Amino acid sequence: MKRTDFHPIFHPRSIAVIGASSDPVKFGGRMFLSAHNRKSSEQVVYPVNPKVNEINGARAYARIQDIDDDIDFAIITVPASHTLEAVQDCIEKGVKAAEILSAGFAETGRPEDAARETEILDLAKRHGLRIIGPNCFGVYSPDSPLTILPGPDYPKSVGALGVMAQSGGFTSNLSGRILEMGLRINKAVSYGNAGDLHEIDFLSYFGENADVSTVAAYVEGVRDGRRFLELVRNVTREKPVIVWKAGLTDQGGRAVASHTASLGGSNHIWEGFFRQTGAIPAVGIDEMVDLIVGFHCLPDFDARRFSAVGGGGAIVVAAADALEKAGLSVLPFSKETRDAIRAYLPPHGNSVKNPVDMGSPMYVPKTFRPILEAVTASSQVDAVIIEQLVFLFRGDFDEDLAETICQARDNSGKPFILVLPQASTGVKGIDIETSRRKYREWYISRSIPVFDSLERAVTVLGKIIRYNAYRTGRTV
Stretch 416-475 residues interacting with a copy of itself (CB under 8 A): 421-430, 433-434, 437-438, 440-441, 452-455
- For residue 375, which amino acid is it? V
**β-pairing verdict for 58-59 and 54-55:** antiparallel
C-beta closer to a copy of itself: residue 226 or 348: 348
d(C-alpha 183, C-alpha 175), whole Å: 9
C-beta closer to a copy of itself: residue 74 or 179: 179
Q: How many CB atoms lie within 10 A of CB 59?
A: 12
CB-based contacts of 250, cutoff 8 Å, min separation 6: none
- Strand order across the beta sheet in which 130-132 lies: 44-48, 14-18, 73-76, 97-100, 130-132
Residue 381's φ and ψ, nearest 5 degrees, are: -115, 120
C-beta closer to a copy of itself: residue 95 or 292: 292
Opening angle at CA 117, ends 7 and 285, nearest 5? 65
User: Applying CB under 8 A, what is the total number of residues that bind a copy of itself?
Assistant: 92
Opening angle at CA 328, ends 325 and 331, nearest 5? 115
Q: How far is the CB of 405 from a copy of itself (least distance, A)?
A: 19
Half-sphere exposure of 309 (CA within 13 A, CB side): 25
- For residue 460, which amino acid is it? V
C-beta closer to a copy of itself: residue 110 or 474: 110
C-beta closer to a copy of itself: residue 47 or 247: 247
Contacting range for a copy of itself; rule: CB under 8 A; set: 12-20, 44-52, 231-239, 319-327:
319-327
Q: Which of 20, 31, 203, 320 binds a copy of itself (CB under 8 A)?
A: 320
Q: How far is the CB of 133 from a copy of itself (least distance, A)?
A: 12
Q: How far is the CB of 3 from a copy of itself (least distance, A)?
A: 27
Site for a copy of itself in 57-116 (CB under 8 A): 79-80, 102-104, 108
Q: Which of 66, 143, 208, 321 binds a copy of itself (CB under 8 A)?
A: 321
Task: Give counts: helices (H), strands (E), the chain.
Answer: 16, 18
- Residues 216, 190: contact at Cβ < 8 Å? no
Q: How far is the CB of 417 from a copy of itself (least distance, A)?
A: 16
- Which of 61, 140, 144, 62 lies closest to 99 in space, CA to CA? 140
C-beta closer to a copy of itself: residue 95 or 136: 136
Q: Which of 128, 155, 272, 332 binds a copy of itself (CB under 8 A)?
A: 332
Indicate left, alpha or beta for 434 from its phi (over 0: left) and psi (-120 to 50: alpha): alpha
Q: Which of 311, 395, 415, 449 binds a copy of itself (CB under 8 A)?
A: 311
- Residues 135, 198: contact at Cβ < 8 Å? no
Q: How far is the CB of 96 from a copy of itself (least distance, A)?
A: 26
Site for a copy of itself in 121-160 (CB under 8 A): 135, 150, 152
Assess whether the previous peptide bond of 355 is cis (omega < 30° from 0).
yes
Q: Does 317 bind a copy of itself (CB under 8 A)?
A: yes
- Which of 149, 154, 126 lies closest to 139 in space, CA to CA? 149
Q: Is residue 26 classed as helix, strand or coil in its secondary structure?
A: coil
C-beta closer to a copy of itself: residue 58 or 364: 364
Site for a copy of itself in 340-369 (CB under 8 A): 347-349, 351, 353, 355, 357, 359, 361
C-beta closer to a copy of itself: residue 56 or 108: 108
Q: How far is the CB of 399 from a copy of itself (least distance, A)?
A: 14
Q: Which of 247, 294, 415, 449 binds a copy of itself (CB under 8 A)?
A: 247
Q: How far is the CB of 78 from a copy of itself (least distance, A)?
A: 12
Q: How far is the CB of 159 from a copy of itself (least distance, A)?
A: 15
Site for a copy of itself in 152-211 (CB under 8 A): 152, 165, 167-170, 173, 176-177, 179-182
Opening angle at CA 19, ends 30 and 61, nearest 5? 115
Q: Is residue 463 classed as helix, strand or coil in its secondary structure?
A: helix
Q: How far is the CB of 67 from a copy of itself (least distance, A)?
A: 28
C-beta closer to a copy of itself: residue 123 or 285: 285
Q: What binding mask, one character per residue, do residues 376-395 give for a copy of itself by CB under 8 A, x or -?
A: -------------x-xxx--
d(C-alpha 322, C-alpha 391), whole Å: 23
Site for a copy of itself in 260-299 (CB under 8 A): 260, 283-286, 289
Q: How far is the CB of 91 from a copy of itself (least distance, A)?
A: 23
Radius of gyration of the chain (CA): 25
Q: Is residue 294 classed as helix, strand or coil in its secondary structure?
A: helix
Q: How far is the CB of 115 from a copy of itself (least distance, A)?
A: 15
C-beta closer to a copy of itself: residue 135 or 209: 135
d(C-alpha 278, C-alpha 231), whole Å: 11
- For residue 228, which amino acid is it? F
Site for a copy of itself in 215-234 (CB under 8 A): 218, 220
Q: Does 22 bind a copy of itself (CB under 8 A)?
A: no
Q: Is residue 327 classed as helix, strand or coil in its secondary structure?
A: coil
Q: How far is the CB of 255 from a copy of itself (least distance, A)?
A: 4
The full length of the chain comes to 476
